[in-house]
Amino acid sequence: METEIAHVSVEHHHGSHRKLVDAPGDAFVPATPGRVDAIVVPTIRHPRWLKYAICLASELNCRLVSLHSGNYSSAGEAAARMPDDVDFLAVDLGQAKLLNLPDFRTTALLKGTSFARKTDLSAKRNLGLMLARLMKWERIVFLDDDIEVGGHEEVVRAAALLDDYDAVGMHIGGFPDNSVVCHAHRLAGGRQDSFVGGGAMAIETTRRRSFFPNVYNEDWFYLLGETSLSRLAVTGMVRQRPYDPFDRPLRARDQELGDVLAEGVYWLLDERASGGWQAATEPAHWAGFLAKRKEFIQDVLDRVRELPPSYGARTRMEESLIAARGRHDLITPALCVAFLDAWTRDRDVWARHFETLPELGAATADAMKWLTKDGVRPLRYWTPGNTPR
């Protein structure tokens, strides 16, 4: 990627939310090593991308759960690549609508609209939470397949902090973990940080009942409490593998609603708003924030257009920002309020659904029966030494 240019400041965008998160320094040494019960990897890529997760599971002596879907990912091939010392559960998911997940109002709200999200990432993460309940795993680590972990010590530190925190993210180095618009902002001179995300996050599963809605930045919504953030910390360092965020304008279009919703809610937390994020249930907040967001996108677009012709990504950045702006123009305060209302109701639905799940312990075969709806054929899965079920 091209060299960044001199920094500029903007008033209509928060380039960092890090002040919301505790960050124990390098001097932090856990009294006892942090235990990890399972690593959960949602994946649509070829199983060779599981390399780092496999090594981590081996070093931590914990279960590795890989949840597969798409044309390039295969649980069977993943199982064939597992070393003898790794306890694993590799699952082919098939269609998300067949999974034993609640009928979320947030999904229904966007269904059939240009805002409907077609990925199954949130379904996979919610399935990971369900498996934690069924298998009685108290501490799991979500790890995306494009995250490189240098050593298990980073994860041990994060897991140890779960004694005091509900979730602990790891700093994501290497290629920045940002939305398309924020990538363009950074490359055009804006100050842009990365926030805690589900790509590398340790979770304590027994204290609270949150879920991942089917919208971009679903992990930011998972981290919200009743009025503020859950107890959240960040430690350690992992690396995200590079990719081209401007490879297709569709990416920016698909991210815009989730980016607006998450940034609009976290804006209130940054500002220490009275009542926390609850002001996000009011149309007036969204009328003001949508205007800020539109100004932000236009500001980034103007700066990108000022980049020299030799800046190789300039045209693709411009196309992506125009796509984001077009999608943004379809977002209304009423839609944002409706989503927040649906999400609040979905939290209660998820909590009730979660409580219906039995705590089975190590009985993998029994646990798998709970992952699909009644009358649906169980998912195909592989475990060490077993033929596919």
- Give 310-362 pLDDT, tens digit per residue: 898 999 999 999 999 999 999 999 999 999 999 999 999 999 999 999 999 88
Is residue 279 assigned to a domain?
Answer: no
State the CATH number of the domain containing residue 239: 3.90.550
Domain containing 184 equals: 18-244+347-382
Is residue 324 assigned to a domain?
Answer: no
Three-class HEC string of the chain? CCCCCCCECCCCCCCCCHHHCECCCCCCCCCCCCCCCEEEEEECCCHHHHHHHHHHHHHHCCEEEEEECCCCCCHHHHHHHCCCCCCEEEEECCCHHHECCCCCHHHHHHCCCCCCCCCCHHHHHHHHHHHHHHHCCCEEEEECCCEECCCHHHHHHHHHHHHCCCEEEEEEEECCCCCHHHHHHHHCCECCCCCCCCCEEEEECCCCCCCCCCCCCHHHHHCECCCCECCEEEEEEEEECCCCCCCCHHHHHHHHHHHHHHHHHHHHHHCCCCCHHHHHHCHHHHHHHHHHHHHHHHHHHHHHHCCCCCCCCHHHHHHHHHHHHHHHCCCCHHHHHHHHHHHHHHHHHHHHHHHCCCCCCCCHHHHHCCCECCCCCCCEEECCCCCCC
Give residue 154's pLDDT band: very low, low, confident or very high (50, 70, 90).
confident
Contacts of 6 (CB under 8 A, 6+ apart): 189
Give residue 388's pLDDT band: very low, low, confident or very high (50, 70, 90).
low
Q: Per the structure, how many domains does the chain have? A: 1
Q: Which two tokens stand for residue 174?
A: 């290497």
Q: Is the pLDDT of residue 156 over 70?
A: yes
| 93 residue type, one letter | L
Provide the pLDDT for residue 389. Answer: 60
List the one residue out of 47, 239, 60, 42 whose CA is nearest residue 147. Answer: 239
CA 203, CA 158: separation in Å to the nearest integer?
9
Residue 329 is classified by DSSP as T
Is residue 304 assigned to a domain?
Answer: no
Give residue 363's pLDDT band: very low, low, confident or very high (50, 70, 90).
confident
Q: What pLDDT digit, counting tens, does each position of 347-358 carry?
A: 999 999 999 999
Q: Which two tokens stand for residue 84?
A: 């003898």
Radius of gyration of the chain (CA): 21
Q: Are the C-beta atoms of 343 and 106 separated by less than 8 Å?
A: yes
Is residue 69 assigned to a domain?
Answer: yes
Is residue 334 assigned to a domain?
Answer: no
pLDDT > 90 in the chain, percent:
80
Is residue 47 assigned to a domain?
Answer: yes
Q: What pLDDT digit, counting tens, does each position of 43-73 carry?
A: 999 999 999 999 999 999 999 999 999 999 9
Is residue 357 assigned to a domain?
Answer: yes
Is residue 318 assigned to a domain?
Answer: no
Give residue 150's pLDDT band: very low, low, confident or very high (50, 70, 90).
confident
